[in-house]
Chain A
Amino acid sequence: MILDAKIPEGPIEKKWTSFKNNAKLISPANKRKFKVIVVGTGLAGSSASATLAELGYEVETFCFHDSPRRAHSIAAQGGINAAKNYQNDGDSVWRLFYDTIKGGDFRAREANVYRLAEVSGTIIDQCVSQGVPFAREYGGELTNRSFGGAQVSRTFYAKGQTGQQLLLGAYSALSAQIGLGRVKMHENSEMLDLVLVDGHAKGIVTRDLVTGEIKTHAADTVLLCTGGYSNVYYLSTNARGSNVTATWRAYKRGAAFANPCYTQIHPTCIPVAGEYQSKLTLMSESLRNDGRVWVPKAKGDTRNPRDIPEGERDYYLERKYPSYGNLAPRDIASRSAKEVCDEGRGVGPGGLGVYLDFSAAIARLGEKTIRERYGNLFEMYGNITGENAYERPMRIYPAVHYTMGGLWVDYNLMSTIPGLHVLGEANFSDHGANRLGASALMQGLSDGYFVIPNTLGEYLSTQFGKKVSTDMPEFKKTETEARAFVEKLLAVKGNVPVDEFHRQLGLIIWDECGMARSEAGLKKAIADVRALRERFWKEVAIPGTGAELNQSLERAGRVADFLEFGELMCIDALTREESCGGHFRVEHQTPEGEALRHDDRFAEVYAWMFQGEETAPELVREPLNYEAVHLATRSYK
């Protein structure tokens, strides 16, 4: 198979405009004849559902949550980037594009990233019009802050709850369309499989999580907006329900999965405290605007941080990366934290933590200002740890936060299965090997509000007169297979809770495919994941039946998929014999311990195609041709 990214001709700054000028349109009279299924109601899914319904398409939207307002986009704290240059600090579309490409360690597709930067400003306009209450100055202007990997202030925010406000904005637009009867909303509905007719994505199989009913839904095209797979690590900053199921089952139906080993470990999270822990909590990157990261210079220094004199502290980010300092990008900040902890200079229980210290900022700006900027984060920290961060530095440690990999898509956001579009974190396209802070919200909304409404016509214009219905044998067959999967799970009747397998999987992946990866470790992980998967199918305990709300069953289905996906992730990490962004292979590093890319061999997207349960996946490559920027060694020094 050859991956055709369908990148428009022309210079990079003209590609999107020329695409739109020449794109296939669907007339208003024809739009209502096309039905679109949207799976997921995070930023990408809600914004796409609302926008496509406004345009006149018939939309059916599904989410496994009890309401479309709950998806994990809601938990994003810090902000959303946009090249508005309201601060007059030299920002531009080009700069946002370049920062994102560089931040992604030159492993993202240029044309997609430029388009993202290009529409970023419109997203802010759209959100403000919807009533998103972004932070403002006393005079009423919008205000900005800085995020990692940028030397300008281009991040718009709403307290520490930007994701919540943006999602509620998209949710309100979606709600208006549901109220008008233009979107049919299915809550508590989990996608179990994708239905293909003549090789095209034409429907889905869902399970109603409350009644257990399994049924099929037909449409002209399917949009997966189902988020990332961070929960393969069990402990992550993602919500408990976030999962890989929709994208994984699409993969098993023929959608290529690109760069699964690109995962983001966020540097500022509350450290793991014990085995009982069910998730990790992020402390927004925005805190690094005012907090200084340090550890003691001496190993095993267990003094109260306030008693450690300035001269005996190592502000290691400021020392190693003077021009970016505490705002070094996430992958670099995380790896540096791991390094100092590996040296035995970590703080707190188990030595897995570093300090994020606000005392200098409090002395400079006063506690009131800091409270205004980050009050809810300090409160959250205090609640979880029982410590007061106004008086004592926070303890933080990296945790899995976001996944850059995802289903492969072309410029139109269509996967290798015709008719299957993939938006937001679920696709692979914009962040390369590392995502910059405040760019996830930007991408989710860009894909949903502005990209897919323009690109969907490319596919739909080829689908006149190709209506399908759930009576077709393809639907019956896929439904039967999805039903068999659920029954197989229920038939195991073991006595080990699902969480137990999930936790063990997480430990394997975290140890061997986390912040540092090695050939031996990855090979071991692959064997361990296989063994664990075998045990799962013999020993998992799922009390209750399939015909009711059964949370063990829900989780078991998702963990079964993670147990397969984890293996692919390690295979990808093993095959990519270089270090780039969040993917750090210990065999490939500079003498200073920085990531060492091998552009001659790996300036490519690795997309994996399913070949059957017992067969190794096939690797298909998409070369990354950099026309507008030069490949450079990423430096933040």
Chain B
Amino acid sequence: MSTMNFHLRLWKQKSAADKGEFIKIHATEIPSECSFLEMLDIVNNRLTREGKEPVSFASDCREGICGTCHMVINGVPQGPGRGAACQVYMRKFENGQTITVEPFRVGAFPIVKDLVVNRGAYDRIIRSGGFISEHTGGAPDASTSLIPKPVADAAMDAAACIGCGACAAACPNSSPMLFVGAKVTHLGLLPQGQAERKSRARNMVRTMQEEGFGNCSNYYACEAVCPANVPASVIAMLNREYIRGEVSQTVGAID
């Protein structure tokens, strides 16, 4: 197995209240087969042996589905290639390359420590409407409603969002509308989601604005970095749903 060397610039910041800075680390003899996060593990374990504090970063499943990991690698949220940061492999980099790693820079995601930010705002958006109010029990047989495959597939593509926050981190406006649109599209396409369709879009957009996020102005940066391949068309759907909801409410329509 061959090894590689890298010049790392890693962001260190004790808390949101403290000032942050890049530290420089020469990461030598990194196995070329390892993943980006495994490279950070190696660096952190070396720092620990030297009695220094490792760099905090979040990760859990390490297979790209849980959405825990989040960082900006060489300017790209979640790093080069498709997938979350845990899906980046060192063979994608040049030997000797300088790699800059920093946290998501989004006002609504305050820094916790080093590369870790607080993305609770995304949960609060979901809590304001990203669901179907179906209490447990009493659901009709699953075969009752027929959902054509193209509709089910489109709902699934939107539902694939992993809630990592890369969309807001990539957007010059810090807009999470790919995230919000993904949920509004997923539920809005399905027959089960119709009852709360209009209030859902209105409520989620309102929370999004209260949390301090911006709106979409069609940069498409979110779509370019989304680890789950959520298409930007969900934002168009969100806009439509939102307008329908607002108009209905303004004119006092029952539906």
- Whether B156 and A133, one on each chain, are in contact in the complex, defined by CB atoms closer than 8 angstroms, is yes
Please, how many residues of chain B have a CB less than 8 angstroms from a CB on the other chain? 81
Query: Which of B65-73, B213-221, B235-243 faces chain A?
Result: B65-73
**For chain B, what secondary structure do more than half of its interface residues adopt (helix, strand, loop), or is it mixed?**
loop
Q: Complex Cα distance A168/B38, Å? A: 28
- Whether A168 and B159, one on each chain, are in contact in the complex, defined by CB atoms closer than 8 angstroms, is yes
User: What are 21 sample pairs from A and B whose C-beta atoms fall under 8 A apart?
Assistant: A51-B135, A51-B136, A71-B66, A126-B137, A133-B159, A138-B148, A140-B145, A142-B143, A168-B159, A176-B131, A239-B60, A239-B62, A278-B41, A282-B63, A384-B89, A497-B48, A500-B45, A541-B48, A544-B53, A548-B113, A549-B112
In the complex, the chain A residue whose C-beta lies closest to that of B81 is A383
In the complex, the chain B residue whose C-beta lies closest to that of A542 is B48
Contacts A131-B193, A187-B123 given; 19 further ones with Cβ under 8 A?
Answer: A66-B120, A69-B163, A70-B60, A70-B61, A130-B192, A131-B190, A133-B186, A140-B146, A171-B126, A178-B127, A239-B60, A276-B31, A276-B34, A281-B62, A380-B64, A384-B35, A499-B41, A543-B47, A549-B116
- Once A128-B139, A141-B146 are accepted as A-B contacts, the answer to whether A164 and B192 lie under 8 Å apart by CB is no
> Residues of A at under 8 Å CB distance from B?
47, 50-51, 54, 65-72, 74-75, 84, 86, 121-122, 124-131, 133-142, 158-159, 161, 164-165, 168, 171-173, 175-176, 178-179, 185, 187, 210, 239-241, 273-274, 276-279, 281-282, 379-380, 383-384, 386, 449-450, 453, 495-497, 499-500, 541, 543-544, 548-549, 551-552
Mask of B154-188 contacts with A, CB within 8 angstroms, 1/0: 01100110110000000000000000000000110
| Chain A residues, Cβ within 8 Å of B156 | 133, 135, 158-159, 165
Q: How many A-B residue pairs have CB under 8 A?
A: 224
Q: Complex Cα distance A350/B65, Å? A: 29
Q: Complex Cα distance A161/B187, Å? A: 17
Does residue B49 face the partner (Cβ distance < 8 Å to A)? yes
| Chain A residues, Cβ within 8 Å of B14 | 548
| Chain B residues, Cβ within 8 Å of A139 | 146, 148
- Once A159-B156, A274-B33 are accepted as A-B contacts, the answer to whether A75 and B65 lie under 8 Å apart by CB is yes
- Whether A67 and B132, one on each chain, are in contact in the complex, defined by CB atoms closer than 8 angstroms, is no
Tell me the minimal C-beta distance from B244 to chain A in angstroms: 19
Residue from B60, B119, B146 with most neighbouring chain A CB atoms (10 Å): B60
| Chain B residues, Cβ within 8 Å of A239 | 60-62, 66, 68
Tell me the minimal C-beta distance from A161 to chain B in angstroms: 6
- Whether B48 and A66, one on each chain, are in contact in the complex, defined by CB atoms closer than 8 angstroms, is no
- Whether B122 and A67, one on each chain, are in contact in the complex, defined by CB atoms closer than 8 angstroms, is yes
Q: Complex Cα distance A383/B34, Å? A: 11
Tell me the minimal C-beta distance from B149 to chain A in angstroms: 5
- Whether B132 and A175, one on each chain, are in contact in the complex, defined by CB atoms closer than 8 angstroms, is no
> Residues of B at under 8 Å CB distance from A?
1, 14-15, 31, 33-35, 37-38, 41-42, 44-45, 47-49, 51-54, 56, 58-68, 81-83, 87, 89, 91, 112-113, 116, 118-120, 122-123, 126-137, 139-143, 145-149, 152-153, 155-156, 159-160, 162-163, 186-187, 190, 192-193
- Once A133-B152, A172-B132 are accepted as A-B contacts, the answer to whether A84 and B142 lie under 8 Å apart by CB is yes
| Chain B residues, Cβ within 8 Å of A135 | 152, 156
| Chain A residues, Cβ within 8 Å of B134 | 126, 129-130, 173
Contacting B132 at CB < 8 Å: which of A74, A131, A453, A495? A131
| Chain B residues, Cβ within 8 Å of A386 | 89, 91
- Whether B51 and A543, one on each chain, are in contact in the complex, defined by CB atoms closer than 8 angstroms, is yes
Contacting B65 at CB < 8 Å: which of A74, A178, A384? A74
In the complex, the chain A residue whose C-beta lies closest to that of B90 is A276
Residue from A121, A241, A551 with most neighbouring chain B CB atoms (10 Å): A551
| Chain B residues, Cβ within 8 Å of A75 | 61, 63, 65-66
| Chain A residues, Cβ within 8 Å of B153 | 133
Residue from A138, A277, A383, A544 with most neighbouring chain B CB atoms (10 Å): A383
| Chain B residues, Cβ within 8 Å of A497 | 44-45, 48-49
| Interface pairs A-B: 7 shortest CB-CB | A140-B146, A172-B131, A179-B127, A129-B139, A125-B139, A133-B156, A128-B142
In the complex, the chain A residue whose C-beta lies closest to that of B44 is A497
- Whether B139 and A165, one on each chain, are in contact in the complex, defined by CB atoms closer than 8 angstroms, is no
Tell me the minimal C-beta distance from B89 to chain A in angstroms: 7
- Whether B38 and A134, one on each chain, are in contact in the complex, defined by CB atoms closer than 8 angstroms, is no
Tell me the minimal C-beta distance from A91 to chain B in angstroms: 14
Residue from B34, B66, B81, B130 with most neighbouring chain A CB atoms (10 Å): B66
Contacting A164 at CB < 8 Å: which of B65, B82, B146? B65
Q: Complex Cα distance A307/B208, Å? A: 57
- Whether A383 and B89, one on each chain, are in contact in the complex, defined by CB atoms closer than 8 angstroms, is yes
In the complex, the chain A residue whose C-beta lies closest to that of B163 is A69
- Whether B87 and A241, one on each chain, are in contact in the complex, defined by CB atoms closer than 8 angstroms, is no
Contacting B34 at CB < 8 Å: which of A129, A130, A277, A449? A277
- Whether A72 and B146, one on each chain, are in contact in the complex, defined by CB atoms closer than 8 angstroms, is no
Q: Complex Cα distance A319/B23, Å? A: 58
| Chain A residues, Cβ within 8 Å of B129 | 179
Tell me the minimal C-beta distance from B169 to chain A in angstroms: 15
- Whether A241 and B60, one on each chain, are in contact in the complex, defined by CB atoms closer than 8 angstroms, is yes
| Chain B residues, Cβ within 8 Å of A496 | 49
| Chain A residues, Cβ within 8 Å of B146 | 139-141
Q: Complex Cα distance A178/B162, Å? A: 20
- Whether A54 and B62, one on each chain, are in contact in the complex, defined by CB atoms closer than 8 angstroms, is no
- Once A380-B64, A497-B45 are accepted as A-B contacts, the answer to whether A67 and B123 lie under 8 Å apart by CB is yes
Q: Complex Cα distance A282/B119, Å? A: 28
| Chain B residues, Cβ within 8 Å of A165 | 156, 159
Q: Complex Cα distance A551/B14, Å? A: 13
- Whether B139 and A274, one on each chain, are in contact in the complex, defined by CB atoms closer than 8 angstroms, is no
Q: Complex Cα distance A493/B35, Å? A: 29
- Whether A134 and B62, one on each chain, are in contact in the complex, defined by CB atoms closer than 8 angstroms, is no
- Whether A142 and B142, one on each chain, are in contact in the complex, defined by CB atoms closer than 8 angstroms, is yes
Contacting B56 at CB < 8 Å: which of A72, A168, A551? A551
Q: Complex Cα distance A134/B128, Å? A: 24
- Whether B152 and A65, one on each chain, are in contact in the complex, defined by CB atoms closer than 8 angstroms, is no
- Whether A128 and B192, one on each chain, are in contact in the complex, defined by CB atoms closer than 8 angstroms, is yes
In the complex, the chain B residue whose C-beta lies closest to that of A179 is B127
- Whether A140 and B56, one on each chain, are in contact in the complex, defined by CB atoms closer than 8 angstroms, is no
Contacting B128 at CB < 8 Å: which of A137, A168, A179, A449? A179
| Chain A residues, Cβ within 8 Å of B51 | 495, 541, 543
- Whether A552 and B54, one on each chain, are in contact in the complex, defined by CB atoms closer than 8 angstroms, is yes
Tell me the minimal C-beta distance from A460 to chain B in angstroms: 18
- Once A279-B62, A384-B89, A548-B113 are accepted as A-B contacts, the answer to whether A173 and B131 lie under 8 Å apart by CB is yes
Q: Complex Cα distance A401/B152, Å? A: 30
Contacting B136 at CB < 8 Å: which of A50, A66, A276? A50
Tell me the minimal C-beta distance from A538 to chain B in angstroms: 16
- Whether A67 and B65, one on each chain, are in contact in the complex, defined by CB atoms closer than 8 angstroms, is no
- Once A50-B136, A383-B83 are accepted as A-B contacts, the answer to whether A131 and B186 lie under 8 Å apart by CB is yes
Q: Complex Cα distance A140/B155, Å? A: 13
In the complex, the chain B residue whose C-beta lies closest to that of A549 is B113
- Whether A67 and B119, one on each chain, are in contact in the complex, defined by CB atoms closer than 8 angstroms, is yes
| Chain A residues, Cβ within 8 Å of B140 | 125, 129
In the complex, the chain A residue whose C-beta lies closest to that of B67 is A70
Tell me the minimal C-beta distance from B177 to chain A in angstroms: 19
- Whether A240 and B142, one on each chain, are in contact in the complex, defined by CB atoms closer than 8 angstroms, is no
Contacting B53 at CB < 8 Å: which of A66, A185, A274, A543? A543
Tell me the minimal C-beta distance from B63 to chain A in angstroms: 5
Q: Complex Cα distance A273/B35, Å? A: 11
| Chain A residues, Cβ within 8 Å of B152 | 133-136, 140
Tell me the minimal C-beta distance from A97 to chain B in angstroms: 20
